[in-house]
Structure 1
Amino acid sequence: MTDKNIPDIVVSRLPIYLQTLQHLSRQGKTITSSQELGEQSFITAAQVRKDLSFFGGFGKQGSGYDINYLSARIRQILKVDRIWNVALVGSGDLGHAIARYPGFAERGFHIRYVFDNDPAKIGKMIGTLPIISTDKMVEIIRQEGIMVAMITVPSRAAQSVADQLVQAGIKAILNYAPVALNVPENIRVETVSPILQLEHMTYYL
């Protein structure tokens, strides 16, 4: 089965399984079951087995899953068994927080460059990272072969930044700007909008 045949909702659950497996491993466990993995992930055991079956067999009937092996295989499937260099565009409050957050590097996403178009910010440092002018962004991203970017600019500037990133060869964008981006079909965009998520939640209150 090819990647295109696998439902996106299945792929979206794999990071949840990986996070749960890592939690179980930290507890000293070496074997888990679809029942335990499902309970810890708030997903049914049947759904866990069905999701994993898209990618082959990972356990034996009655003996469960080897946590280290399953973790390694899911990391391979998600392509997070390697280091991904990331370009961050926007050095405002959110950009500063993201650039300093150690969790990305711990999971293999290394923010290598921070770009901004504000002359007052260019040349200043965020930790060990200098803020570089967006005038140099396309050239640097192309030279470094970076494929992943994060956008933390105001919504009015997000589309223009996305256009530049596509021009530079970026294939995946994590968009924190509260606006939908228009990109070619082969570019993957995930939008993170706390405001929209809060508004979604408050409907149920």
Structure 2
Amino acid sequence: MSTTQTNDKNSQYVFPEPTIRRLPWYLAYLGRLKDAGVEYVSSTQISKDINVDSSMIAKDLSHLNIKGKTRIGYHVASLEHELQEFLGFKRLHNAVIIGTGSLGSLLLQDAGLYDYGLRIVAGFDVDPSKEGSVIGGVPVYGMDSFEERLPGLKAEIGVITVPANCAQQVCNRIVDAGIHALWNFTPFRITVPEGIVIQNTSIYAHLAVMYNRLDLRNHTGKE
């Protein structure tokens, strides 16, 4: 499943991580409302439509010092703007993808990431046949040129989509090259020095949970 970790003994989260994870749900919902011409929305209505407790929604938004108006609710366009600014979706973050196999290639072609502030500027791979190719408009280079090319790419984030057995090695190389944020798509739990931010997003963990719940439902008729 998707988790964030910061290997820094002195780091503190100003905002609770569960809150940060829910904010994109609210943002996506607000986008739909704005497109439909809705001007105001209450936490009760948000709760009903996205199945999150209304008191939780109000608490989440209070962390951003956002409060709705009594009997009116939240101004949709203003709230959408505040969430976009807080989440960093309005500022572009350059990233490189290490491993351009099936998953890496899909991410290179995912133009939607740009709408959420992630600009993939290059892909890297150890396969010589992929060097010099272009996937989704993004150039792919040989891994042997990684350290040489990285400064010119101005990348803040390294996306790891390599086989699990080499995830730690690739992680070490990315960190040594000066990148401080990693998005790890492998099922391997990589370790990093202090101060490095890691977002672990394992589709296999999500599959395991889904299969477990499905199996339970099939055997008992309920979760």
TM-score (normalizing by structure 1): 0.91
Task: Give the 3-state SS of the residue equivalent to 2:162 in structure 1.
Answer: coil
Q: Work out which of the residue numbers 34, 38, 43 in structure 1 matches 2:47.
A: 38
Q: Using the alignment, how far apart are the partners of 1:140 and 1:37 within structure 2?
A: 46
Change (3 A) 1:142 1:38: farther
Task: Give the 3-state SS of the residue equivalent to 2:192 in structure 1.
Answer: coil
Deviates more, 1:87-96 or 1:142-151: 142-151
Q: Work out which of the residue numbers 152, 177, 192 in structure 2 matches 1:143.
A: 152
Deviation string for 1:9-38 (max 9, x for gaps)?
111111111111112222221211111222
Does residue 193 (structure 1) correspond to residue 202 (structure 2)? The answer is yes
Task: Give the 3-state SS of the residue equivalent to 1:29 in structure 2.
Answer: coil
Q: Using the alignment, how far apart are the partners of 1:121 and 1:183 within structure 2?
A: 28
Q: Which runs of 5+ in 2 are unaligned?
A: 1-10, 215-223
Which residue in the other structure is 2:98 paired with? Answer: 89
Q: Using the alignment, how far apart are the partners of 1:138 and 1:58 within structure 2?
A: 47
Deviation string for 1:82-139 (max 9, x for gaps)?
1121111111111111111121122221111111111121112213222112222233
Task: Give the 3-state SS of the residue equivalent to 1:139 in structure 2.
Answer: helix
* Relative contact order higher in (CA < 8 Å, ≥ 6 apart): 2
Which residue in the other structure is 2:29 paired with? Answer: 20
Alignment check: 8 A CA contact 1:114 1:130 kept: yes
Q: Using the alignment, how far apart are the partners of 1:58 and 1:90 within structure 2?
A: 44
Does residue 114 (structure 1) correspond to residue 123 (structure 2)? The answer is yes
Task: Give the 3-state SS of the residue equivalent to 2:96 in structure 1.
Answer: strand
Which residue in the other structure is 2:108 paired with? Answer: 99
Q: Using the alignment, how far apart are the partners of 1:141 and 1:22 within structure 2?
A: 35
Identity %: 31
Q: Which runs of 5+ in 1 are unaligned?
A: none
Q: Using the alignment, how far apart are the partners of 2:106 and 2:153 within structure 1?
A: 24
Q: Using the alignment, how far apart are the partners of 1:42 and 1:138 within structure 2?
A: 46
Does residue 79 (structure 1) correspond to residue 88 (structure 2)? The answer is yes
Does residue 8 (structure 1) correspond to residue 6 (structure 2)? The answer is no
Deviation string for 1:149-195 (max 9, x for gaps)?
21111111111111122122222221111111101242221222222
Deviation string for 1:58-88 (max 9, x for gaps)?
4222221111111111111112121121111
Alignment check: 8 A CA contact 1:94 1:152 kept: yes
